[in-house]
Amino acid sequence: MDDIKCIVTRRSAVSTTTFRRGKAKRALINTNQFTFMRQIDSEPDDRVLAREQREDVAETFRRMGNYEYRKLNFSLAKDYYSKGIQYIKDSPVLYVNRALCFIKLREFKLGIIDCDYVLAKIDEHYLRAWLYRAAAYKRLNDEPNFEYSVDRARRFNRSDADFIDEFLDKMRSLL
């Protein structure tokens, strides 16, 4: 009988989800294929550390975008938010900040696309996404979608009714 040789390698379970730092809600790790394959052989703790490092880089780009936004440099702010999104694809803050830049640059449809992405893929209750979406539709004179967005904002965020009213009043005064 032939001798059979076996090679045993160490295998570890790979988790497809992780807990976001500081959040009770579970979030899927969004990575591209290269990053996923590179991390598949690493330990879960290493993957969490890599995620935290990417979050830190994305947070830095967010701060840089906020700085440029305050200086009314919307195009550069949009670019910084886009760079942050390259590192963390499931951050609703980066998407809605970029959407607001698109709206300020009068690229309303691109702003709506970012808001729709947040609402469809990340958090369907995200108040700022609903409000910025409503503002973009209002500027496009699309009343049905404007009303729908405002209705959804109110329905999903009942405790923020005063903030929603203030936002709409401010928006109407700017038109």
Contact 93, 34 (CB under 8 A): no
Domain parsing of the chain, residue ranges: 17-174
On the CB side of 78, how many CA atoms lie within 13 Å of its CA? 16
Looking at the predicted structure, is the pLDDT value of residue 15 above 50?
Answer: no
Contacts 24+ apart (CB under 8 A), 50-54: 51/18, 52/21, 54/87, 54/88
Assigned superfamily of 17-174: Tetratricopeptide repeat domain (1.25.40.10)
Ramachandran category for residue 166: left, alpha or beta (phi over 0 → left; psi -120 to 50 → alpha): alpha
Better-scored residue on pLDDT, 175 or 66: 66
Q: Which amino acid is at 153?
A: A
pLDDT at 17: 43
Q: How far apart are CA 54 and CA 124, in angstroms?
A: 24
> What H or E segment, with its residue span, contains residue 18?
strand 17-19
**21-32 pLDDT tens trace:** 444 444 445 556
Least confident residue range of 47-56, 128-137, 154-163: 47-56
Calculate the CA 54 to chain-centre distance: 14
- Averaged over 46-72, what is the pLDDT? 95
Q: How far apart are CA 152 and CA 145, in angstroms?
A: 10
Residue whose entry in the numeric block shows the structure tokens 């290269």:
34
Q: Which residue intervals of the chain are DSSP H helices?
A: 33-40, 44-70, 74-87, 92-104, 108-117, 127-139, 143-156, 161-174
Least confident residue range of 2-6, 110-114, 138-142: 2-6
Q: How far apart are CA 102 and CA 163, in angstroms?
A: 22
pLDDT at 175: 66
Residue whose entry in the numeric block shows the structure tokens 């499931």:
90
Contact 96, 114 (CB under 8 A): yes
Confidence grade of residue 9 (pLDDT, cut at 50, 70, 90): low
